[in-house]
Amino acid sequence: MIRPFVRFASVVALVALSLPLIQASAQTQVPAAPAAMPAAPAPAAAPVFPKPDPKNFTAKAPTKETIDSFLKASWGYDDSRIWQVQAILKTPVDGISKVVVLVGDKAGKEKGGALEFFALPDGKHVITGDQIVAFGANPFADFRAQLQQQANGPFRGSPSKDLELVEFADFQCPHCKEAQANMDKLVVDYPKARIVFESDPLVSIHPESMIAASYGVCVASLGGTTAFFQFAATVFEGQDGLATADGATLTLNSAVTKAGLDPVKVGACAATPQTKATVDASVKLAGDLGINQVPILAINGRQVPANAPYETLKKIIDYQIKMDGITQ
């Protein structure tokens, strides 16, 4: 999904402008861009970056060390990733610097390129393309703190928030359905993690996603965590039934029954203003975090596609555990 007004974007947006590190589909609210022309054949060896010219380092901030720490936090899970800060330039706007980074990979499997962004005076954000992205040596810290305070959806695993994996998903989104296999594996492989589900219904393209999210809130409230995840699994499995209003009623009631609850009581609960407010709060949290597509998995604040290849997700989670000094 791409929201019409996004205040902040995750560092995933910055990654996407350089090299395609993660191949995963996401649900959007706008048509997909036309397919790009085929890339040129990858070079046979790692790129040789030209020596930086000291004349291109005219701004005092951010420092090269800060930029390197930022990129290490963002890309360090990938041992093949290489980069070089090529320029930190003053701009006509006081306090705003232009940064140029050359990017490639050690094996030369991907075509190298240049990443450009503008560092803002607060030292905590950069502008890349039309996005404002969190910046710094620990760019995910603020997002992590916000999620620890506000991600109140049903969860599996540990009550501890030391390692918190927050999934933002829409019950009517096909890619979110695909991501559930990953989520179930994560529950097994990371038993000390707190794995939270937050609804982010895309009502502009999925008309029944809001009622599905509302039912989910009420199942969790009336039946607890086990009932919710049984309900969620059944809804995703029968997702085609959400294509119409009548089909959604049958699908959701069936999932409620399978979770051991009374569809009449859950349906009445789902229609209340309090339930709508709960779903709205989850949607607002996603918007405040700059989440602009689903499914997204926030790993201690770091946002990645939840339907990325599973081994890639594990690499990123393991790296974030190391970065955050978590004992597993």
Query: For the chain (length 328 residues), average pLDDT per consecutive 10?
Result: 33 37 53 44 75 97 97 95 97 97 88 92 94 93 98 97 98 98 98 98 96 98 98 98 97 98 98 98 96 95 97 97 91
* End-of-domain residue from the set 136, 152, 183: 136
Of residues 113, 112, 86, the one with CA closest to residue 98: 86
Listed in sequence order, the residues at least 6 apart from 85 whose beta carbon sits closer than 8 Å to its beta carbon are 52, 64, 67, 68, 99, 100, 101
- Which tokens hold the place of 123? 């030292």
Rounded distance between C-alpha atoms, residue 170 and residue 153, angstroms: 13
Rounded distance between C-alpha atoms, residue 193 and residue 158, angstroms: 5
- Shared domain for 57 and 74, answered yes or no, is yes
Is 328 a domain residue? no
CATH number at residue 189: 3.40.30.10
Rounded distance between C-alpha atoms, residue 93 and residue 58, angstroms: 13
Global pTM value = 0.86
**pLDDT value of residue 24:** 62
- Which tokens hold the place of 258? 């399978």
Q: What is the domain range of residue 121?
A: 11-34+44-136
- Shared domain for 153 and 296, answered yes or no, is yes
- Which tokens hold the place of 229? 């995840």
- Shared domain for 219 and 245, answered yes or no, is yes
**pLDDT value of residue 111:** 77
- Shared domain for 153 and 130, answered yes or no, is no
- Shared domain for 147 and 66, answered yes or no, is no
- The angle subtended at Cα 239 by Cα 235 and Cα 243, nearest 5°, is 125
DSSP E strands, 54-187: 81-90, 97-105, 113-119, 125-128, 131-134, 155-157, 164-169
The 3-state DSSP class for residue 255 equals helix
Indicate the number of domains in the chain: 2
- Shared domain for 48 and 190, answered yes or no, is no
- Shared domain for 288 and 189, answered yes or no, is yes
Of residues 22, 255, 298, the one with CA closest to residue 144: 298
Is 313 a domain residue? yes
Is 327 a domain residue? no
Is 17 a domain residue? yes
- Shared domain for 88 and 156, answered yes or no, is no
Of residues 17, 213, 206, the one with CA closest to residue 101: 17
Whole-angstrom CA distances from 150 to 13, 146, 161, 261, 288 are: 23, 6, 12, 27, 11
For 279: left if phi > 0, alpha if psi spans -120 to 50, otherwise beta; the answer is alpha
DSSP E strands, the chain: 81-90, 97-105, 113-119, 125-128, 131-134, 155-157, 164-169, 194-199, 296-299, 302-305
- Shared domain for 287 and 155, answered yes or no, is yes
Rounded distance between C-alpha atoms, residue 197 and residue 169, angstroms: 8
The 3-state DSSP class for residue 237 equals helix
Is 184 a domain residue? yes
CA pseudo-torsion sign 169, 175, 177, 178: negative
Answer for the pair 88, 141: CB distance below 8 angstroms, yes or no: no
**pLDDT value of residue 327:** 84
- Shared domain for 175 and 113, answered yes or no, is no
